[in-house]
Amino acid sequence: MGTPPDHQQLQAREAAFSGALEATDAYLAASESLSTALKAGWFSLARAKYAAAPGGMLLRQHPGDLRAAARVALAEPSDPDDLYDRFELLQQGQGGRQVGEQAKEQEPGAQHERAAGSGGQDGSQDGSQDGSQDGEAASASGRDAAAAAAAAAGARDPLLWLSGGLPSSDLRRAQGEFRAALLAAVDAANRLQALRAAADAAAGDDAGGGGGSSSGSLGGGGGGDGAGGGGSGGP
């Protein structure tokens, strides 16, 4: 017969088991939040469709350059012993602001203005006036480009091609609830990864062979729920 575990081993097993239970509760709570947000979103969308005029909500009105408003990227876990990646939600507005800032930095107006000012006394007033005019023209063109980009982003708003005009309050509420569902889906996926890591830790501290099979079945069963939640949160 094997040597019975000492007090430290029992404490480690108890801590791993408690961590797995806490991760399970967190995953179930995130899944419940996802389900609640999805139900509320579909209910608000149904109310908006019922109150709209006939033919007012047509999916075929969407523009040809329709793009995703968010995407999911992988993020490495903070714990080096954790083998499961995490997921990060990237909104479309974050990239748009970064692109706009880079475009402003690359405007030639500031370069012309610096070149005109560094000419010294030999450049006289004509050079400074030409540089300022070029800077104003470049700034105006930059503002026009930013306005055109904002108009193009507004034209891709799903609320506009769903309603064809002024969106109703129910439609706006549905959009917010589906956004909450998308956040809940990513949170549930991260909770599932944490649950898998906690289950692996509990199985590693377990001396018997049943812990390994329990971890595998727990991770595999939860994987289907996480994938389904992510797909449902997309709309």
pLDDT tens-digit map of 6-47: 778 888 888 888 888 898 999 999 999 999 999 999 999 888
pLDDT digits 0-9 by tens, 119-175? 554 445 555 555 566 666 666 666 666 555 555 555 566 677 666 667 788 888 998
Domain-wise residue ranges, the chain: 7-54+67-93+159-204
Distances (CA, A) of 179 to 9, 65, 126, 142: 45, 21, 55, 31
Q: How far apart are CA 149 and CA 155, in angstroms?
A: 10
CA 102, 108, 114, 118 torsion-angle sign: positive
The single-letter code of the amino acid at 108 is: P
Q: Report which of 132, 165, 172 is spatially closest to residue 58, judged by C-alpha positions.
A: 165
Q: How far is CA 123 from the centre of its chain?
A: 52
What confidence score (pLDDT) does residue 33 get?
94
Strands (E), 6-152: 70-75, 86-91
Give the type of residue at 218: L
CA dihedral over 137, 141, 143, 144, signed as positive or negative: positive
Poorest-pLDDT segment among 40-54, 58-72, 84-98, 201-215: 201-215
Beta strands in the chain (DSSP E): 70-75, 86-91
Between CA 70 and CA 188 the distance in angstroms is 17
Q: For the chain, percent helix, then strand, then coil, each to nearest 5?
A: 75, 5, 20
Burial class (CB in 10 A: 0-12, 13-18, 19+), 43: middle
In eight-state DSSP terms, residue 68 is -
- Going from the C-alpha of 152 to that of each of 101, 105, 160, the distances in angstroms are 17, 22, 12
pLDDT: which is higher, 114 or 44: 44
pLDDT of residue 217: 39
CA distances from 143 to 58, 91, 129, 134, 148 (A): 33, 23, 21, 14, 9
Mean pLDDT of 101-122: 45
Query: How far, in Å, CA of 91 to CA of 168, rounded?
Result: 24
- pTM of the full structure: 0.56
